[in-house]
Amino acid sequence: MSETADRGALGPLDIARVMAALPHRYPMLLVDRVEELILDRSITAIKAVTINEQFFQGHFPGRPIMPGVLIVEAMAQAAGILAVESLGLAGSGKLVYFMAIDGAKFRKPVEPGVLLKLEVEFVQKRSSVCKFAGRATIDGQLAAEATFTAMIADPPKAG
């Protein structure tokens, strides 16, 4: 039996568990819940997009659209949860930093009132560097996709 099969799946994970895995807080916390997390393999998470998001005040008045970079950030945060949980780093203070974003494509505008489903899987996993493939969908329709690489590191020391 594989390690993944031995360790199984987690979920759903509520906002308290999300906040335990990520250092992000309002207004930068972009994952509201995790529907399913298969250790060492994949995560499915949700971002509830509401008109109350600060970025909608200026992007764009009269036609609010979630910025593409924040959609990628939401996928990266889901990947961070996957990495932290899979590597047993929850509560360790370790951070997951972007190293590269490749092939980002935006297919459908993300507007207030939708549930943005974030589906991320490991492409490659090492002890400190991981590569992921992510997709963001709305009601089964692809809104955005990207591959990205992240490094797991200690937080910067207070100066």
List the domain boundaries for the chain.
Answer: 3-153
The CA distances from residue 116 to 10, 23, 33, 82, in Å, are 20, 21, 11, 17
Domain 3-153, CATH class in plain words: alpha beta
Residue among 33, 41, 59, 94 flagged as catalytic: 59
- 59 counts as catalytic: yes
Name the more confident of 149 and 11.
149
**Is pLDDT of 27 > 50?**
yes
Query: What would the pLDDT profile of 99-108 be if each residue is shown by its tens digit?
Result: 999 999 999 9
pLDDT at 36: 97
Q: What is the mean pLDDT of residues 62-85?
A: 96
